[in-house]
A and B are shown apart, each in its own frame.
Chain A
Amino acid sequence: MSRDAANKKLPTLSAGSIVKMAGDLSGKLIQRNWKRFVIAVPLVWLLIFFIVPFVIVLKISLAEGMIARPPFTPLFEWAEDLSFTISVTFENFRFLVTDDLYYSSYLNSLFLAGKSTIICLLIGYPMAYGIARSRSDIRGILLLMVVLPFWTSFLLRIYAWMGLLNKNGIINGALLSMGIIDEPLNMMFTEGAIYVGIVYSYLPFMILPLYATMEKLDESLNEAAADLGGKPFTVFYTVTLPLTLPGIVAGSLLVFIPATGEYVIPALLGNYDTLMIGRVLFDEFFSNRDWPVASAVAVALLAFLVVPIMMYQHFQAKDGERS
């Protein structure tokens, strides 16, 4: 190639590369904007439906109760002389600590939710395992049966349980007519009825994430463990259990968190002696009309529940790192 030709070729080359660079850049810009857009949608959603309401609740929890509409003092005030006052009080939170009603109902709720979670896990784990190991043609049907209750309203299903557990209910009727018992069992309005309601309602939330992790499990891992001398229980304990731990954590949190704040089930199936934070919250809002204290209860409950959520996040991040 002559020197002329080489010289002529230079500018075209660089022009081409500039076009290419520009193209790359605009591509990157579009890509970056697209990424921003994709992130923005859920962010806006969260802002409107979670962060804004939460800020409002937080604001009310820092106000004082008063007989007015709305029933609490405003946080910011513009006086007529244009002086600006912010009145913040932590009295409501202090009140939560002093009155052991709140303290014991928080504990009660956590305890009840914890126990329900364990029961759900004990029932859900073998069920999920059974579904994951079932023949592929019936697996879909089994999964459908797990989620089928969602087709009916949650409230209706709890009412159905009332019909079952009542003194004149179906279970008592059946047992009486078979002569197994002489007088009706007292099942309604007991703590047992609350467990039945919660376990029944939240079991699918345990089964589905468990199923999702178990379905991915490679059967040959179990075989390898057995081949290396692991008896069935040892294989479960050393291989299956640790590998399904992410599903156990996810399912437990999905049951534990809503069960802690559960209101409908204890209100309809439980007795009034079982203090639960959901009911306390309801009573503060609607019976006492003390919105600031009710808001403080709600904020404190959220703070309690943030801890397990963070644990879950941490676990998921670790899991993501691993696979």
Chain B
Amino acid sequence: MTEFKKPIVGDRPAFDAEAEPFIDIQGVGKKFGVFTAIDDISLKIYKGELFSLLGGSGCGKTTLLRILAGFEKPSKGRVIIDGTDVTDMPPYERPVNMMFQSYALFPHMTVEKNVAYGLHRDGVSKVETRERVADMLALVEMSDFAKRKPNQLSGGQKQRVALARSLVKRPKVLLLDEPLGALDKRLREHTQFELMNIQDKLGITFVVVTHDQEEAMTLSSRIAVMDKGNVIQVGTPSDIYESPETKFTAEFIGSINMFDCHVKESGRDHLVAHCGALAQDFYLDRGVAVKEARQLWLAVRPEKIQISRQSTVENGVNELPAFIHDIAYMGTHTIYRIRLANGQILQATTPNLRRSSEGERNLTWEDAVFVSWEPSSMVVLMK
């Protein structure tokens, strides 16, 4: 996963304990009958952030977004936006606009009228409306389509119009529900950068709902990983990827290999854990506050694993003998499925740095190899 320039990097209010949150979600819960959509969520989102709510279907991310927009009233808790308690405020009074997953463009209005709709509601003068609509359409490069009806537009064009319509009122917060969900892969990548550009230009706080971890990783300044109506972890994309706090987060984002271990030695600057199934010690070069004999998971990401024919590490630290079980050539990289002595399958990826053809592949099926990784590459996940 590549990290791009994030608007937040300059002042990083999310990491300043003194900073006032722009959106303050305080102990919000939502029940539909007996079904609990949101259990108990508290989140602080700061001005200018591009904040993602990431989770599988039914995790409550869309419900939380709809609570921010005012379409659902929370069963408990408060929502404060820019110092104002908006919990009981109807959607049409909130300083918030939303871009719908289905885009929800008015089919009986032209592109221009769609974008102007919000300004008309606010009683903005005709001259100013025309100006602001034209500016907005220029920003999303849709000026040539102003007189078209939504059904005469492609998916990507509709998406731009929907974005223009939700931005034209200069909301304090823009809510985006699966903004790239309906676009094909090429368009997604293009639009992703565009969204970040626009966010950077306007400085509006974005809250994005997505089930796509890649989308969340590239877009966001911070991500909240959600599951079963709760926030599991909040952090920057690299926090979430490199230092997941739970097994759920680790498995939800990217692939990860896990070893069932117990603590053998817990020092201030190191940790040794023993994996019974492999009869193998793993060495971690940083201290973790755990007692000895505590059961835990040690995890390592596929791209951190090195594969070699000969043993490369002295003393065999974090190195295991194994066999190549399966190979998947992906173009940019190759995915190896590696079988350990106890039958456990590890996933390892290596970048294809050099051009090679089928015949001259280094490793092949059932080759005996060694897999190893740096002591710092491992992540500790509590049971």
Q: Are A243 and B108 neighbours in the complex by a CB distance under 8 Å?
A: yes
Q: Are A228 and B165 neighbours in the complex by a CB distance under 8 Å?
A: yes
Residues of B in contact, count (CB < 8 Å): 25
Q: Are A227 and B117 neighbours in the complex by a CB distance under 8 Å?
A: no
Residues of B within 8 A of A229 (CB): 92, 118, 121-122, 169
Residues of B within 8 A of A238 (CB): 117
**In-complex Cβ contact of A228 among B102, B118, B149 (8 A):** B118
Q: How far is the CA of A228 from the CA of B122 in the complex (A)?
A: 9
CB of B277 within 8 Å of the partner chain: no
**In-complex Cβ contact of B98 among A218, A224, A239, A323 (8 A):** A224
**CB closest chain-A residue, reference B102:** A220
Q: A221-B104, A243-B107 are in contact. Are A230 and B151 (CB under 8 A)?
A: no
Q: Are A234 and B121 neighbours in the complex by a CB distance under 8 Å?
A: yes
Residues of A in contact, count (CB < 8 Å): 19
**In-complex Cβ contact of A227 among B69, B102, B107, B149 (8 A):** B69
Q: Are B102 and A218 neighbours in the complex by a CB distance under 8 Å?
A: yes
Residues of A within 8 A of B100 (CB): 220, 223-224
B71, B104, B108, B165 — which one has the most chain A CB atoms within 10 A of its CB? Answer: B104
* Interfacial residues of chain B within 89-115, with CB under 8 A of chain A in the complex: 90-92, 96-98, 100, 102, 104-108
Q: Is the interface of A mostly helix, strand, loop or mixed?
A: helix
Expressed in whole angstroms, the minimum distance between the Cβ of A323 and any Cβ of chain B is: 7
**In-complex Cβ contact of B91 among A220, A223, A239, A323 (8 A):** A223
Expressed in whole angstroms, the minimum distance between the Cβ of A31 and any Cβ of chain B is: 29
* Interfacial residues of chain A within 215-238, with CB under 8 A of chain B in the complex: 218, 220-221, 223-231, 234, 238
CB of A69 within 8 Å of the partner chain: no
Q: A224-B98, A230-B92 are in contact. Are A242 and B121 (CB under 8 A)?
A: no
Residues of A within 8 A of B117 (CB): 225, 228, 230, 238
Q: A226-B91, A227-B97, A228-B97 are in contact. Are A221 and B106 (CB under 8 A)?
A: yes
Q: Are A227 and B151 neighbours in the complex by a CB distance under 8 Å?
A: no
**CB closest chain-B residue, reference A219:** B104
**CB closest chain-B residue, reference A221:** B104
Residues of A within 8 A of B122 (CB): 229
CB of A322 within 8 Å of the partner chain: yes
Q: Are A228 and B108 neighbours in the complex by a CB distance under 8 Å?
A: no
Residues of A within 8 A of B90 (CB): 226
Q: How far is the CA of A239 from the CA of B117 in the complex (A)?
A: 10
Q: How far is the CA of A224 from the CA of B121 in the complex (A)?
A: 12
Residues of B within 8 A of A323 (CB): 107, 151
Residues of A within 8 A of B105 (CB): 224
Q: How far is the CA of A230 from the CA of B117 in the complex (A)?
A: 9
Q: How far is the CA of A117 from the CA of B304 in the complex (A)?
A: 74
* Interfacial residues of chain B within 60-104, with CB under 8 A of chain A in the complex: 69-71, 90-92, 96-98, 100, 102, 104
Residues of A within 8 A of B96 (CB): 227
Q: Are A227 and B108 neighbours in the complex by a CB distance under 8 Å?
A: no
Q: Beyond A221-B107, A223-B69, A322-B107: 8 further Cβ-contacts under 8 Å?
A: A220-B100, A223-B100, A224-B100, A224-B105, A227-B92, A229-B169, A238-B117, A239-B106
